[in-house]
Amino acid sequence: MVRSIADRAFLPTRGLLEEVGDMVVLTGRTILSALRPPYPYGGELVSQFLFVLRLVWFPLLITTVAISYGAPGIQAANFLRLAGALDRLGGFFVLAAIREIGPLITSTVVAGIAGTAITADLGARKIREELDALQVLGVDPVKNLVVPRFLSLMMVTALFDLFALLFGLFGGILAAVVNGQPLGPFWATFFANTTTVDLWGSVLKSMIFGAVIAIVCCYKGMTASGGAEGVGRAVNQAVVITFLANGTFNYIFTQMLLATHPNILVIK
Amino acid sequence: MATRQQHRPSGHQGEAEFQWHTGVHHPTGVPDAIEFIKVYKAFGANHVLQGLDLGLPEGRISMILGPSGTGKSVCIKHMVGLMYPDEGDVLIEGQSVPSLPDDELFEMRKKFGVLFQDGALFGSLNLYDNVAFPLRQHTEKGEDEIQEIVMRRLHEVGLGDAIAKMPNELSGGMRKRAGFARALVLDPKIVLFDEPDSGLDPVRTALLCELIKEVHAENGGTYVVITHDIMSARRVAEHIAVLWRGRIVESGPTAELLESENAFVRQFLSGESHGPLGMD
Ligand SMILES: Nc1ncnc2c1ncn2[C@@H]1O[C@H](COP(=O)(O)OP(=O)(O)OP(=O)(O)O)[C@@H](O)[C@H]1O
Ligand SMILES: [Mg+2]
C-alpha cells in the first residue's frame, strides 16, 4: 500500500531520470559507433543532410529576418534612442544575434521541422517492427540510423547558424535604416564588439544544439510504443524535451563562455 | 509414458491463477534447440512472463499456442535478444542469449529467420528489395543469383507479380507473405513465425501451412510457429506448447497434446466457449 503510493508519486520522476540516463547512454554509443569502423552510414548521412537543408532553409530565413528585425531591431532601437545611443545598435547585435538569438532560432526551427520528422519517421518504423527486423538482420540501428542523423544535424545546425547570423544581420541593418541611421556607426560598433570567440562560440553552441535534437528525437522515435497514437505522443515529448534541454544547455554554455573569456564581457 | 513434472507455482494468488498449469512436458526424444528457464518479464505492472519454462525440440516444427495477449510475441523477442528477461535465462542451442555481448549477439542472430507479426517490411524499399535485403546484407552473392532466389521465394508465396510494389501498397496478408519470403531467404537454421496465418483467407492459410511443411522437409531446421489457429496447428505442428498467463500449461508432441486430459488444453484445442478460459 505504502509502496504503491510511493510508486505513484515517484514513478514519473524516476521514469524521467531513467530516460535522461538512457539518452546519455545513447549519446555515448552514438559517438563510439560513429568513430569505430565500418562506416556504412555515408549514404544515409548525405540524404539526411539534404533532407534537412531542403526543409529548413526557407522557414529559417523568414524567422531570422523577422525576429532579428522585431526583437533587437525595433525594440532595442527604441530603448537605445531613449539613451541617445542609437549608433550602438550594431554592438548590441553582436550580443543579441550572434551570441544568443541566432543559435536559439536555428535550434528551435531545426527541432520543430527536422527533429519532429525524425521522431515521426523512426517512431513509425518502430511501431511497424521495422527496427526489430533490422536488428535481427544484423543491422545496428544506432550505427545506421542514429549516427547519420546525429552527424547531419550537427553539421546542418552549424551551417544554419551562420545563415541565421547573416540574415539576422540583415534584419538589424533594416532596423538601423528604418530608424534613419547611417550604417557607418552600426558597422563600427558591430566590428568593435565582434571577436572570433563570439563566432566560434555561436557555431559550437549550435552544433551541440543539433546533437541534442538528434539524440532526443532519435531516442523518442526508437522507443515509441502504443500504435499511431504513441508516435504522436513521442513527437510531442521529443519537442518538449529538446526545448528544455537546449534552454538549460544554453544557460550553462553562456556562463562558461563568459567565465572563460572575460574580455567579451566588456562592451565597447 | 514418462512425464517430467516441472515446478508448480506456489504462494499467494498463484494457486487459483495457475491451477491448470501442470507444466507437464512430454518427452520428445531430441535435445531442445530453444529453452526458456524460469523467465520473468514485466512491463511496469503488467507481468507478462511469469516463470516461463519452455523447451522447443531441435529440427521439428513447434507451435506455441495461446490466447491473445499472453506474451507469445514477447517470447519471440526474447529468443532473438530484442528483449531481455527480468529474471531467468533463454538458451539458444545451449548459448545464453541475455549474457551474449553485442557482437556475438549479432553473429548469433544470423542463425535466425524471423517473420514478425505484421511483416515488418522496410517501408522505404520495394517488395523485391525487401526480400533481397538479407542476401545483400549477409552474403557475397551476385545480383543474378540473388534474383533467382528472391523470385523463387516470391513465387512460392504468390507474390511474383508484385515485386515493384511498396509495402504501403500491399494488403496485410500480402505483407505477411512477403515477410515470410524474407524470413526464409537465407535458409536459416531456426525460423520464427509470429502468426503467419492471421489475416489470410482459409485457402491461403492452408497453402501457407503446406508451404511451411514443404520448406521444412527441404531444408530442415528448427521452426517455431506462433498461432491461434487450431487447424493450422493440427496440420503442421510436430510439437505443441500451450502458453497462458506467461507460463506453459502443457507441452509435448502433437498427438499427445491432442489427447490431453487437461481441461484448459482441451478447451483451447477444440475452440469451445465453456471451460477455464473466459474473456478476462
Ligand atoms: N514493448 C512493450 N512494452 C510494454 N508492454 C508490452 C511490450 N510488448 C508487449 N507488451 C505487453 O505484453 C503483453 C503480451 O504481448 P504480446 O504481444 O506478446 O501478446 P501476444 O501473445 O503476441 O498476443 P497476440 O496473439 O494478440 O499477438 C501485452 O499485454 C502487451 O501489452
Ligand atoms: Mg503477438
Residues from chain B contacting residue A136 (CB–CB below 8 Å)? 80, 82, 109, 112, 114
Question: Among B64, B72, B176, B243, which residue has the most ligand 1 atoms within 8 Å of its CB, making it the best to mutate?
Answer: B72
Does domain B33-111+188-280 fall under CATH 3.40.50.300? My reply is: yes
Q: In terms of CA atoms, which chain A residue is nearest residue B131?
A: A137
Residue B199 Cα to ligand 2 midpoint, Å, equals 13
Kindly report the protein residue whose alpha carbon is nearest to atom 15 of ligand 1: B71
Position A243 scores a pLDDT of: 93
Question: What is the rounded CA–CA span in Å between residue A27 and residue A146?
Answer: 9
Look over chain B and give the mean of its residue pLDDT values, rounded to a whole number. Answer: 85
Chain A nearest-CA distance from B271, in A, is 29
Question: What is the rounded CA–CA span in Å between residue B159 and residue B138?
Answer: 23
How many angstroms separate the most distant Cα atoms in chain A? 73
Confidence band for B9, pLDDT divided at 50, 70 and 90:
very low
Question: What is the rounded CA–CA span in Å between residue A166 and residue A102?
Answer: 9
The DSSP secondary structure of B171-213, one letter per residue, reads -HHHHHHHHHHHHHTT--SEEEEESTTTTS-HHHHHHHHHHHH
Domain boundaries, given as residue ranges, for chain B:
33-111+188-280, 118-187
Tell me which amino acid residue A190 is: F
- The residues that bridge with B224 in the sheet, in sequence order, are B62, B192
Smallest Cβ distance to B120: which of A130, A138, A140?
Answer: A130
Most A CBs within 10 Å, among B106, B125, B226, to test the A interface: B106
CB atoms within 10 A of CB B118: 19
**Contacts of B124 by beta carbon, 8 Å cutoff, 6+ apart:** none
B42-52, pLDDT tens digit by residue?
998 899 999 89
Interface of A with B (CB under 8 A): 124-125, 128-130, 132-140
Contact A171, A101 (CB under 8 A): no
DSSP B4: B
Q: In terms of CA atoms, which chain B residue is nearest residue A131?
A: B120
Confidence band for B1, pLDDT divided at 50, 70 and 90:
very low
Look over chain A and give the mean of its residue pLDDT values, rounded to a whole number. Answer: 87
Question: What is the rounded CA–CA span in Å between residue A258 and residue B31?
Answer: 68
Question: What is the rounded CA–CA span in Å between residue B198 and residue B183?
Answer: 17
Assembly ipTM: 0.82
Q: Is pLDDT at B103 greater than 90 in this prediction?
A: no
Cα dist from A143 to A29, A42, A208, B138, whole Å: 9, 11, 19, 17
The DSSP secondary structure of B98-131, one letter per residue, reads TT--HHHHHHHGGGEEEE-TT----TTS-HHHHH
Is there a contact between A132 and B120 if contact means CB atoms under 8 Å apart?
A: yes
Question: What is the rounded CA–CA span in Å between residue B208 and residue B187?
Answer: 17
Most B CBs within 10 Å, among A7, A10, A129, to test the B interface: A129
**Contacts of A199 by beta carbon, 8 Å cutoff, 6+ apart:** A98
Of B210, B219, B198, the C-alpha closest to B158 is B210
- The number of angstroms, rounded, from the C-alpha of A10 to the middle of its chain's C-alpha atoms is 30
Closest ligand to Cα B82 = 1
Q: In terms of CA atoms, which chain B residue is nearest residue A128?
A: B120
Interface of B with A (CB under 8 A): 77, 80, 82, 106, 109-110, 112, 114, 116-118, 120-123, 133-134, 137-138
Residues from chain B contacting residue A137 (CB–CB below 8 Å)? 109, 133-134, 137-138
Burial of A95 (0-12, 13-18, 19+ CB in 10 A): middle
Question: What is the rounded CA–CA span in Å between residue B100 and residue B81?
Answer: 9
Position A6 scores a pLDDT of: 62
Strand B61-65: give its sheet, edge to edge: B24-25, B247-253, B239-244, B61-65, B222-227, B190-194, B112-115
Cα dist from A85 to A71, A88, A92, A101, whole Å: 17, 6, 11, 22
Pair type for strands B222-227 and B190-194: parallel
Domain boundaries, given as residue ranges, for chain A:
58-261
Overall pTM surpassing 0.90 (yes/no): no
Residue B82 Cα to ligand 1 midpoint, Å, equals 13
Range name among A186-195, A202-211, B37-46, B208-217 with the lowest pLDDT average: A186-195
Position B2 scores a pLDDT of: 40
Q: Which residue bears the cell 526583437?
A: A71
CB atoms within 10 A of CB B260: 20
CB atoms within 10 A of CB A38: 7
Position B259 scores a pLDDT of: 84
Confidence band for A10, pLDDT divided at 50, 70 and 90:
low
